[in-house]
Structure 1
């Protein structure tokens, strides 16, 4: 390494005069005989004139050089090394917003180093939330697409959750840009390389954020991705994957009213461990559970069993940061009890419904039923005498005469304003009967039969009822055995860790 590279003055000169970013990246990255610690100290030092090198460099034009200086100075300052002064916050914030992604991609590990220092440095400025928009800029602008996962992504979500500050931009990132690629690169600093932990942590934290904001469908996808992420080598599933399974099951009950099948490639170790936890008993007692003996259904049962289980294991749920979800599950249970009642009853009084869900206050029961009607969870009406009548789904609703005309042509008279579904079925059956009668008449026609036989004769070998040309042997559709053997597919998923 030349003498010019042994001082910050020489490095600044190379940064401002170099017209080859790749060569400059090699110069800044190469620690040579000096060693990493010496190079970091040089990058974090002031110029011989006393000037701050950041005041000499353009934050956008000299992105690569500024990135090395900023990340080195922040890292050493936060670790209280050699009395290094932290950079001006304004310079840090401006750089994160205006950096050139093309140059920054020559040193992605330095971007990760910078990102992991931002939260602590923002806290020293008196407001840790200041780091969130900067991390968002780094996470979305450094990779080639917003759906490309970098080690900065889980840092962004973790800082957002720790500071209870979830921005609309983060929600849009999670929903509109699900991960479909991993930003991979080689780094001389292994601790800043992307790992399977980044993928696992990002999807686990993403599921938590989406659950907190009521985006349950997307949250289930994120928890499932974390749950089914393959481990590295032959190592067992990560502890965080068990936590993802717990939250997945709770959210399924809250949002869907019961459990959904897990992917076939879910680790059996995780499902076996889960069955031995209090969460399994809680899920079994939920109204949508396939275990009626655990639900203890019947009038006046309500959510008593769920409440008992919550009280019994409350400390466990709190220690695992799931108490809020479990309480929400118990609160949502009456809604799904009512949903199950629609499968059995046509009418029920509000008082009777109250006995089933364990609510004595008739006004509260009415309000709950009305909310369910408004959200289309059930289809029902409440009479003046407080009788709830359950209706079928919209598929059985009346249809307009225009729809009938489109399907069957005009109806005799054409004076009806609406036609019910039974009337439509009756009309269809009548048309089917006419078609059957016409088919019989045609089949009895000697002239038609003789012509059909004549057309099917000759050397073609065809006869009435033969399959004709098709996709498989003899004109039939292929069976599974007709497909080539070994035509299987595999699902490649990025390796993915543990969040307390």
Structure 2
């Protein structure tokens, strides 16, 4: 490894143009590793010679080496990390996202260790926006940020990311944690409909095996559903079979609580909560369980509105098992204020009159609300149509879907795969279709990198079904090629041969290979 002074000089001199930053990135990759981390204590003074904003990529490499070295770098290091997360260049740090995530993770762990989670909220909120390619993307930093908001009880701060519409998820764990922590934040804000929505997403998300996050989300989902709706909805059809089969077995006490709640008897529910308080406490759900208990009064009062037009406060107290008419009056007034029932109380005779919903949907505010909702649904519909179109061209999806199931002809199916493969090329410089040839020069300038790989793609459409062996080594690959070669010409409907690079100045780097062809497998020698 070069001396630290030389490395810092490279960082200072190569942080300008994109070409310089790309060259710097290659130098930093060569210097990265245990040797850099072993100099962690010596790296800290060099950070003062760099600008977090102008030298973000190099600063990130040095900062990550310090953060992951395990050395005790002192309280001032947290200030250095916080300043970097706030000021760094998004374009540069996105070149090394794993490094950036490591720094964020260590920073979060340190503020938690110091029991000062509030110190990490602003820097991690900035980090979320820096690492996001778009506001629709979910990143691992989202969960780290929401966790700090929870620990610091700064629930409203969490809304800055929870109010975004998320459509892009890279790792399933990020989604589960985002929904779980997000649901807890909305619980803290008493916004139970939004909490229920996020927890529902965690429970019904695709999963091949049950995970602890989904189980804990399901427990809270039952409690929130009882508080909000008085019942727990059954699993929708799109819920994974794993969740439908096993989820209730891991939340049996909560399922029994739901059954007891449905009986409508307050004393029975109170006894159940008290007898299982230790279980609720160990799950950190005792407070929610008590809110479920309190909500039964409201639920029973709402049931009365469906039967009676007028009722005395004394009768309400007796029906819902409240101690006094005064308690019944307080519950009714609170429900009227929250818009949960529509009623008036006659103070002279203590009679409560229940009314229909007075909303006529004619006010300016209601019209604006409906218009906003329609616009949002229209935008969501367009987004879903776009996602559906992208999925229809995804290689993993196409490999699992039979042409007959899609309703496409073989030509349409063949063209979809062809377009998907050709879309991985920066440019097509050579084209030959049915004898018509087109050729053009590669428009990009050489960037100084040498070519590393050649990718050859063969697409064949043929009548009948072919079974290929699993390709593990060169012999298997030769057997597949022989299988293709043995197809009679009369059965072949279409062939395309695609290769990249086609021009001398074009390259396929290892990074681009792994990005564009994630399903390629390395062949072993045996």
**TM-score with structure 1 setting the length:** 0.67
Give the structure 2 partner of residue 177 of structure 1. 164
Give the structure 1 partner of residue 257 of structure 2. 282
For residue 167 of structure 1, report the CA deviation from its aligned partner: 4.8
For residue 270 of structure 1, report the CA deviation from its aligned partner: 3.1
CA distance in 1, matches of 2:100, 2:30: 17
Give the structure 2 partner of residue 164 of structure 1. 152
Give the structure 2 partner of residue 191 of structure 1. none
Matched, 1:389 2:377: no
Q: Which structure shows the higher strand fraction?
A: 2
Equivalent in 53, 68, 72 of residue 65 of structure 2: 72
- Per-residue deviation, residues 414-443 of structure 1 (Å, max 9, x unmatched): xxxxxxxxxxxxxxxxxxxxxxxxxxxxxx
Give the structure 2 partner of residue 91 of structure 1. 80
CA distance in 1, matches of 2:229, 2:292: 11
CA distance in 1, matches of 2:276, 2:86: 47
Matched, 1:17 2:6: no
Give the structure 2 partner of residue 446 of structure 1. none
Matched, 1:7 2:7: no
| SS of the residue 1:348 aligns to | strand
CA distance in 1, matches of 2:218, 2:111: 34
Describe how 1:39-438 pairs up with structure 2 within 5 A.
Answer: 39-42=36-39, 44-46=40-42, 52-76=45-69, 79-80=70-71, 88-122=77-111, 127-161=116-150, 163-174=151-162, 176-182=163-169, 195-231=171-207, 235-276=208-249, 277-286=252-261, 289=262, 295=263, 297=264, 301=265, 303-383=266-346, 384-394=348-358
**Closer/same/farther in 2, CA of residues 61 and 112 from structure 1, 3 Å limit:** same
CA distance in 1, matches of 2:345, 2:232: 30
For residue 392 of structure 1, report the CA deviation from its aligned partner: 2.1
- Per-residue deviation, residues 217-250 of structure 1 (Å, max 9, x unmatched): 221221122112222xxx4221221221221121
- Are 2:313 and 2:329, in contact at CA under 8 Å, matched by a contact in 1? yes
**Closer/same/farther in 2, CA of residues 322 and 122 from structure 1, 3 Å limit:** closer
CA distance in 1, matches of 2:236, 2:244: 11
For residue 115 of structure 1, report the CA deviation from its aligned partner: 0.6
**Closer/same/farther in 2, CA of residues 275 and 53 from structure 1, 3 Å limit:** closer
For residue 486 of structure 1, report the CA deviation from its aligned partner: 4.8
| SS of the residue 1:207 aligns to | helix
- Are 1:347 and 1:387, in contact at CA under 8 Å, matched by a contact in 2? yes
- Are 1:73 and 1:86, in contact at CA under 8 Å, matched by a contact in 2? no
**Closer/same/farther in 2, CA of residues 127 and 269 from structure 1, 3 Å limit:** closer
For residue 144 of structure 1, report the CA deviation from its aligned partner: 1.9
**Closer/same/farther in 2, CA of residues 487 and 371 from structure 1, 3 Å limit:** farther
| SS of the residue 2:311 aligns to | strand
Structure ranking higher on relative contact order (CA contacts 8 Å, 6+ apart): 1
**Greater C-alpha Rg:** 1
- Are 1:73 and 1:87, in contact at CA under 8 Å, matched by a contact in 2? no
CA distance in 1, matches of 2:343, 2:138: 46
**Closer/same/farther in 2, CA of residues 318 and 369 from structure 1, 3 Å limit:** same
- Are 1:154 and 1:201, in contact at CA under 8 Å, matched by a contact in 2? yes
CA distance in 1, matches of 2:269, 2:112: 41
For residue 132 of structure 1, report the CA deviation from its aligned partner: 1.8
**Closer/same/farther in 2, CA of residues 45 and 8 from structure 1, 3 Å limit:** farther
**Closer/same/farther in 2, CA of residues 260 and 120 from structure 1, 3 Å limit:** closer
CA distance in 1, matches of 2:12, 2:360: 74
Alignment: residue pair count: 361
RMSD: 2.7
- Per-residue deviation, residues 421-469 of structure 1 (Å, max 9, x unmatched): xxxxxxxxxxxxxxxxxxxxxxxxxxxxxxxxxxxxxxxxxxxxxxxxx
- Are 1:74 and 1:86, in contact at CA under 8 Å, matched by a contact in 2? no
- Are 1:210 and 1:218, in contact at CA under 8 Å, matched by a contact in 2? yes
**TM-score with structure 2 setting the length:** 0.64
CA distance in 2, matches of 1:319, 1:167: 23
For residue 339 of structure 1, report the CA deviation from its aligned partner: 0.4
| SS of the residue 2:225 aligns to | helix
| SS of the residue 1:141 aligns to | helix
